[in-house]
Amino acid sequence: MKKYEHIFFDLDHTLWDFSTNCAETLNELYAQHQLHRFNIVLSEFIISYRQINDSMWDDLHRGKVTKEEIRNLRFARTFHLLGLQESDVPQGMDEQFISICPTKSNVFPHTHEVLDYLAQQYVLHILTNGSSDTQFVKLKSAGLDHYFKEVIHADESGYMKPDQRMFDYALQTAGILPHQCLMIGDDLYADVLGAKNAGIDQVFVNRHQIKHEEILTYEIDCLSTLKTFL
């Protein structure tokens, strides 16, 4: 007998391949703004940006920075990390990143196949801390929008994962109780422990096989494994 009726998916780094889409965007910005003139190579630019962006998102989940600060400061901090002046950041690059990156369509292996399979048995939703303006574009660009009944984002709920109120809002929106659903995400802290704290079973998508000591419902390193137990 099927245990769950609804599944909540995180989007970035779980289904939508943020790193690849981000690298493609940075590649375009690097060329357009001729960043080679600062004697930085593309790979360094991408690695530094990721480092800054990832750490700012971790800070966001812990309430230390706002989304607005991430958008406005990540290139300045990337340039600083590369030994450049923050004032060297080309005008408008933050906005360009926001408008280009969500139009990229790379998703992780087996995304469409697994969603096709799950959509036949479960009601699927997106539960994301990303901004509403970018998440809808990402879903459409990647051809994922038709799989999901609700796209629940932090802007709408007023809370972010791992805050239990974000999960409560999601349950309320879907009209269900915790035992009726499963949360699938790549972020141990925000998605998985957040869901666990809200009484929701979880799947940790641990592609990099990071070590931890948490007791979780399921843990996978590839989306295709979902078909073995769902």
Residues that bind Mg ion (CB under 5 A): 10, 12-14, 186-187
Minimum distance from residue 134 beta carbon to Mg ion (Å)? 13
Of the pair 17, 186, the CB lying nearest Mg ion is at 186
Minimum distance from residue 81 beta carbon to Mg ion (Å)? 23
Q: How far is CA 194 from the centre of its chain?
A: 15
Of the pair 5, 58, the CB lying nearest Mg ion is at 58
Of the pair 79, 167, the CB lying nearest Mg ion is at 167
Long-range contacts of residues 202-206, Cβ cutoff 8 Å, at least 24 apart: 205/14
The angle that helices 42-61 and 67-81 make with each other, rounded to 10 degrees, is 140
Minimum distance from residue 186 beta carbon to Mg ion (Å)? 5
Minimum distance from residue 11 beta carbon to Mg ion (Å)? 7
Which residue has its beta carbon closest to Mg ion?
Answer: 13
**Half-sphere exposure in the Cβ direction for 34 (13 Å, CA):** 1
Q: Give the sheet arrangement for strand 6-9, strand by strand.
A: 150-153, 123-128, 6-9, 181-185, 201-205, 218-220
Of the pair 13, 153, the CB lying nearest Mg ion is at 13
Helix (H/G/I), strand (E/B), else coil: 167: helix
Of the pair 174, 188, the CB lying nearest Mg ion is at 188
Q: How far apart are CA 114 and CA 89, in angstroms?
A: 40
Minimum distance from residue 10 beta carbon to Mg ion (Å)? 4
Minimum distance from residue 203 beta carbon to Mg ion (Å)? 12
Minimum distance from residue 12 beta carbon to Mg ion (Å)? 4
Asked whether 166 and 194 are in contact (CB, 8 A), the reply is yes
Of the pair 14, 21, the CB lying nearest Mg ion is at 14
Of the pair 76, 205, the CB lying nearest Mg ion is at 205
CA dist list (Å): 60 to 7, 15, 80, 162, 198: 24, 21, 20, 11, 20
Type of residue found at 7: I
**Residue of 181, 125, 131, 135 lying closest to 156 (CA atoms):** 131
